[in-house]
Structure 1
Amino acid sequence: MWAALGFAVLTGAGVHSVWALTIYVAVAVLLSVPALRRVTFSRLLLSILRKPGFAPKISETERQALEAGGVWVERELLSGNPDLNGIAKLTLPTLSVEEQAFLDGPVNRLCSMVHDWDLWQDRELPSEVWDVIRRERFFGIIIPRHYGGLGFSAIAHSEIIARLASRSAALSVTVMVPNSLGPAKLLINYGTEAQKNYYLPRLARGEEIPCFALTEPDAGSDAASIRSTGVVFRQGDGTLAIRLNWKKRWTTLAGLSTVIGLAFRLSDPENLLAKGHEIGITFALVPTRLPGVDVTRRHDPLGVPFSNSPSRGTNVVIPVENIIGGTARAGQGWRMLMESLADGRGISLPAQSSGLMKFIARATSAYAGVRRQFGVPIGRFQGIAEPLARIAGLSYLVDSFRRFTCSALDSDLKPSVVTAISKYHATELCRKSINDAMDIFGGAGITLGPRNLIAHLYYAAPIAITVEGANILTRSLIIFGQGAIRAHPFAWRELIAIKAGDLVAFDPTIAAHTSHFVRNLFRASLYWLTRGALVRSPVRGPAAKYYRQLTWASATLGALTDFALIGLGGRLKFEEKLTGRLADMLSWSYICSVTLSRFQSEGARRDDLPFLHWAARYGLNQFQIALEGILANFPIPILGPLLRGPIRWFARINPISAAPRDRDDLKIAAIMQESTLLRLRHFRGIFEPFEENDPFRRLEYALELENTAEPILKKVVTAVKKGVLKKDADDALLHEAVLKQVISQDEFEKLDEMRRLVSEVIQVDDFSQDEYLRMSA
């Protein structure tokens, strides 16, 4: 078909030379007949690509990272022609009756026992909190029931962490780490039956406190370069053992732990395990009671009061049976780590971020709705409405991809690219929301004390950025680096064929890739010229245009991905500015796709439209920003000037999407300042305090009273404007309003209650000099 189309284009352009057309037909036949193409074009191309520098060189550790996990909707988005019907039919996961009961019971009780200010002063969780954590098996969320755990789904795990985070970031970290990457997860996936039967019940009951020791002074993001050592030797009684030496840091719960999941390089000088002398990265269980183990020191991560420590081991001896998975798993630690991260990072940190963002949205909007300046609530100023809408809109986005990522995990998928996207963007957008909240709270946000609801979150925000793959690394190397190879329809098969020199496999793959590239280039060009109008949306109504824009974006991403792969080859992995922007394009395609699915899954409600419009425009505009960055900086000599010039100019005057409109901001800001079911529905799942004097509960109640008092205040304002009442101090004015029957006595009492409560909730804390000197941050 493409050969015929090319011939038609040539003749239509006025090319009638017999020699030119003959050469074209000869080349077309050569490329169209597999047997001829294989021994000519494909053989030559394969020999070129096998030379150093042309195709990306994939190390063994990179190969294992690429093979970890699976692919999901990101394959569709990177294809350039996504299955919109399949994306639109994605549904939100739900909790079981038992899981909901656990949230409403033990999780709420645990939250009610922790007061964040007190925790920061005491620097550790109270013993009664630890008792509940153990009794209710909070450390066994992921452990199967037949091993004594709760065996909950990914979405339940996520909801639990989100609710705990809305009460205390330190509390959520304490619970989430044992249920994330660590001994329990590694044992579930790789442990021997003996190891599972012994450790998993004890971990679930909290009899064993686990930690996972990976990071070292010289091995952070480059975890494969760890220097901790383990040497196999034969003991005097004839049994095999490992002598360990290590120096780890930044290990959560290490100071409280009874067992360490330790990553180290295993060597076997006498080949006692029959696996060679240098076996490689291995994981083992190390009881902290053993001689030579030191977990007595503490780190101080920005003052946030959770246990985080260095650990050292000097000539620590363990039996070889302590290798997780037994000796059969010796040397497989890197693969185990990559496979565990492939799903784990899609739960804990996105859940924590979502819980924090919902809490921030509720607290900040309530404050903006009751804090008055110049006679009106500050939330009505457009300068405040903009960041307030951004807080709410970003929370909607993060909650959307958090829930859909959990849906994939509960379907037994382990989409490594999607989970990396979730971790990176959840933590980054949470940090952005916290900064916006600090701007809105102003002085009340920077004055520490029990009344301050957000300052501790501001302290804690950078911590999530650095763990489970530092965000800079995740964006510039992992999301697109893995996505372009794993999720691309042909790239991974091509690399395998190139490495093996397999011409039979290479030929049909490169031919299909070439056809795919041409189709994507044509499709992208057509969508840019028609603004996606030719795309058939899977839904009708207000979301339809966003599905068309999403397909337009996907075709653009697919074409640019192939330009990068073909034009840069092995250089691509070093062009981190480019891969970072391509990662942004892939990320925002995914985020927009599941946000649209959320809107449809929740019934395409009319009152959700402000959130849909804001979220879709924001996400697609972020895609546009990344696209313009690529076009301005594409590092290929011949293609670069074309992209930087006319194509970039056309993309700027004909964008996929602009940013959210001012009226979108104002609508969401107004919704956020009304104590309605809509506001509560969008930000449900956080902990609702029981205590009447709780600062968050009183702030929410003040907003409710403010909303109730609004029509009463309007009566007074109208009377002043008409001259019925004279402008005076508030107390005198309201008493006069009662005397002149502008408002009733009952309405006066409602206003008085509102004014007294608002006056209280906008206060900030102060301390005596002695109290201040004794106070922790």
Structure 2
Amino acid sequence: MSTAKYPDLSLADEVFDFHALLSPEEKEWAMKARDFAQTQIRPVIEDDFDKKYFRKELIPLIAQQGFLGMHIKGYGCAGASAVSYGLVCLEMEAVDSGWRTFVSVQGSLAMSAISKYGTEEQKNYWLPQMAKGEKLGCFGLTEPHGGSDPANMKTTAVLEGDTWVLNGAKRWIGLATVADLCIVWAMTDEGVRGFIVPTDTPGFVATAIDGKLAMRASIQCDIELTDVRLPADAILPGAQGLSGPFGCLNEARYGIIWGAMGAARACLDAAISRSKEREVFGKAIGSFQITQAKLADMTLEYEKGVLLALHIGRQKDAGTLNLAQISVGKLNSVREALKIAREARTILGGDGITGEFPVMRHMANLEAVRTYEGTDEIHQLVIGRALTGLNAFS
């Protein structure tokens, strides 16, 4: 592969000079993530995407970088800032959304659920192993009948003596076929509760979803729960009601705000490089006004998206974040990243639909990212509710 097509240093960021806004520690996390993603994932990702292969052997190496649960303090986790975590998400998704999704599912969803709502015994047992990549987690919330209405949850957990019995189904659950534990959310007599379910528990069956045209280098699954019996202490005591899973979803949505801009940057870089190489009518297409206008507009939206992500990250680190801002960021980042990918594809011409360039792969992945962790419509309603004080969900 030509380094001109996949520059080690972002061409867009050379103009942006974004790193001037970061602290030395934040820069260090960003550069560590960029180096890892570019050297370990980029050379193999097109082939993995084509073959629908999740390169599980990279997980110990990712863990060695400190990326798993890196925003959690203690328990073998790095305790890094929200901005640092966001920068890692950006760099991972710059090579493929599937790998940012892995970091999010393990750290922002499964590990965050235990960190936020678990007992000290649960935290001490699971989190150090998960930070090392020795144990993998997944997060069972979405159900087959509709992911946008978790209040209508059909999975149940019934307490029989000192044993919980879980029955139901989940869909689009990342990592479930390779995970060692699943955080399962189920309806109880007290409302929605979370449970740590070892995946080798009888009655727990995960099946990888095939036929995907996006996120092909990662794993998403159906889960069936049939009389899954758990001890009483499998429950996460700190989570009661939908605020439990939503607290974890907001962590994952935050990572998407940054990650989608990584995908956008990769597409923009590919378009910039190609505009200087491809010639029509006797000169490089980058010398034509209309091509430069396209590049300028894409760069504008990329910079705005990253600055919004940084603003939200600074608020998160300061403890002043209005959660509606997460919806603002997720809605904007994914929507604009898709627009950038589509515009970049026009500059690449017919070659843009091939695996020679990352743009179609990113475009397909972003269509999936646009749906999960809240569709555009859900985030529009969250923002609208914040603006008007009126609930339009029902």
Residue 736 of structure 1 corresponds to none
Out of 161, 174, 178, the position equivalent to 1:256 is 178
Out of 279, 286, 291, the position equivalent to 2:202 is 291
1:484 and 2:392 aligned: no
1:68-87 equivalences under 5 Å are: none
The one-letter amino acid paired with 1:242 is W
Given that residues 245 and 315 in structure 1 are in contact (C-alpha distance below 8 angstroms), is that contact kept between their aligned partners in structure 2? yes
Given that residues 294 and 313 in structure 1 are in contact (C-alpha distance below 8 angstroms), is that contact kept between their aligned partners in structure 2? yes
1:467 and 2:372 aligned: yes
Given that residues 208 and 219 in structure 2 are in contact (C-alpha distance below 8 angstroms), is that contact kept between their aligned partners in structure 1? no
State the shift of 1:215 in Å: 0.9
CA distance in 2, matches of 1:365, 1:111: 18
Give the direction of change, closer, same or farther, for the CA distance of 1:105–1:218 in structure 2 (3 Å limit).
closer
Out of 312, 319, 323, the position equivalent to 2:231 is 319
**What's the secondary structure of 2:68's corresponding residue?**
helix
Residue 413 of structure 1 corresponds to 320
**What's the secondary structure of 2:78's corresponding residue?**
coil
The one-letter amino acid paired with 1:427 is V
Listed one character per residue, the Cα deviations across residues 250-286 of structure 1 (whole Å, up to 9, x for unaligned) are 01111111100101101xxxxxxxxxxx211111110
Given that residues 255 and 298 in structure 1 are in contact (C-alpha distance below 8 angstroms), is that contact kept between their aligned partners in structure 2? no
Out of 239, 242, 251, the position equivalent to 2:164 is 242
Out of 245, 265, 278, the position equivalent to 1:337 is 245
Residue 138 of structure 1 corresponds to 67
State the shift of 1:344 in Å: 4.2
State the shift of 1:302 in Å: 1.7
CA distance in 2, matches of 1:228, 1:100: 43
Residue 103 of structure 2 corresponds to 175
State the shift of 1:173 in Å: 1.9
Higher strand share: 2
Listed one character per residue, the Cα deviations across residues 440-471 of structure 1 (whole Å, up to 9, x for unaligned) are 1110102x23x223121122121111011111
Residue 436 of structure 1 corresponds to 343
Listed one character per residue, the Cα deviations across residues 386-426 of structure 1 (whole Å, up to 9, x for unaligned) are 32222111001101101110000011233111111000010
Given that residues 29 and 84 in structure 2 are in contact (C-alpha distance below 8 angstroms), is that contact kept between their aligned partners in structure 1? no
Given that residues 45 and 217 in structure 2 are in contact (C-alpha distance below 8 angstroms), is that contact kept between their aligned partners in structure 1? no
CA distance in 2, matches of 1:456, 1:372: 24
Higher helix share: 1
Structure 1, unmatched stretches of 5+, are 1-91, 235-239, 267-277, 486-569, 577-777
Out of 53, 67, 71, the position equivalent to 1:124 is 53
1:311-460 equivalences under 5 Å are: 311-325=223-237, 329=238, 332-345=240-253, 347-446=254-353, 448-449=354-355, 451-460=356-365
**What's the secondary structure of 2:321's corresponding residue?**
coil
State the shift of 1:107 in Å: 5.1
State the shift of 1:299 in Å: 4.0
CA distance in 1, matches of 2:277, 2:376: 36
Listed one character per residue, the Cα deviations across residues 582-639 of structure 1 (whole Å, up to 9, x for unaligned) are xxxxxxxxxxxxxxxxxxxxxxxxxxxxxxxxxxxxxxxxxxxxxxxxxxxxxxxxxx
**What's the secondary structure of 1:333's corresponding residue?**
coil
Given that residues 68 and 106 in structure 2 are in contact (C-alpha distance below 8 angstroms), is that contact kept between their aligned partners in structure 1? yes
Given that residues 219 and 226 in structure 1 are in contact (C-alpha distance below 8 angstroms), is that contact kept between their aligned partners in structure 2? no
Given that residues 343 and 409 in structure 1 are in contact (C-alpha distance below 8 angstroms), is that contact kept between their aligned partners in structure 2? no
Listed one character per residue, the Cα deviations across residues 498-542 of structure 1 (whole Å, up to 9, x for unaligned) are xxxxxxxxxxxxxxxxxxxxxxxxxxxxxxxxxxxxxxxxxxxxx
The one-letter amino acid paired with 1:479 is I
State the shift of 1:110 in Å: 4.5
**What's the secondary structure of 1:109's corresponding residue?**
helix
Give the direction of change, closer, same or farther, for the CA distance of 1:113–1:339 in structure 2 (3 Å limit).
closer
Out of 169, 185, 199, the position equivalent to 2:112 is 185
Residue 134 of structure 2 corresponds to 207
Give the direction of change, closer, same or farther, for the CA distance of 1:130–1:122 in structure 2 (3 Å limit).
farther
1:223 and 2:223 aligned: no
Residue 87 of structure 2 corresponds to 159
Give the direction of change, closer, same or farther, for the CA distance of 1:301–1:95 in structure 2 (3 Å limit).
farther
State the shift of 1:106 in Å: 6.1
CA distance in 1, matches of 2:217, 2:251: 27
Given that residues 69 and 112 in structure 2 are in contact (C-alpha distance below 8 angstroms), is that contact kept between their aligned partners in structure 1? no
**What's the secondary structure of 2:364's corresponding residue?**
helix
The one-letter amino acid paired with 2:201 is L
The one-letter amino acid paired with 1:458 is M
The one-letter amino acid paired with 1:121 is D
The one-letter amino acid paired with 1:573 is A
State the shift of 1:383 in Å: 2.8
**TM-score normalised by length of structure 1:** 0.46
Give the direction of change, closer, same or farther, for the CA distance of 1:434–1:478 in structure 2 (3 Å limit).
same
**TM-score normalised by length of structure 2:** 0.88
State the shift of 1:484 in Å: 2.7
The one-letter amino acid paired with 1:412 is G
Given that residues 258 and 288 in structure 1 are in contact (C-alpha distance below 8 angstroms), is that contact kept between their aligned partners in structure 2? yes
The one-letter amino acid paired with 1:149 is C
1:310 and 2:310 aligned: no
Count of residue pairs brought into register by the alignment = 372
Residue 270 of structure 1 corresponds to none
Residue 301 of structure 1 corresponds to 212
State the shift of 1:190 in Å: 1.8
State the shift of 1:291 in Å: 0.6
State the shift of 1:183 in Å: 2.3
Given that residues 159 and 351 in structure 1 are in contact (C-alpha distance below 8 angstroms), is that contact kept between their aligned partners in structure 2? yes
Give the direction of change, closer, same or farther, for the CA distance of 1:259–1:159 in structure 2 (3 Å limit).
same
CA distance in 2, matches of 1:130, 1:343: 21
**What's the secondary structure of 2:89's corresponding residue?**
helix
Given that residues 33 and 88 in structure 2 are in contact (C-alpha distance below 8 angstroms), is that contact kept between their aligned partners in structure 1? no
**What's the secondary structure of 1:296's corresponding residue?**
strand
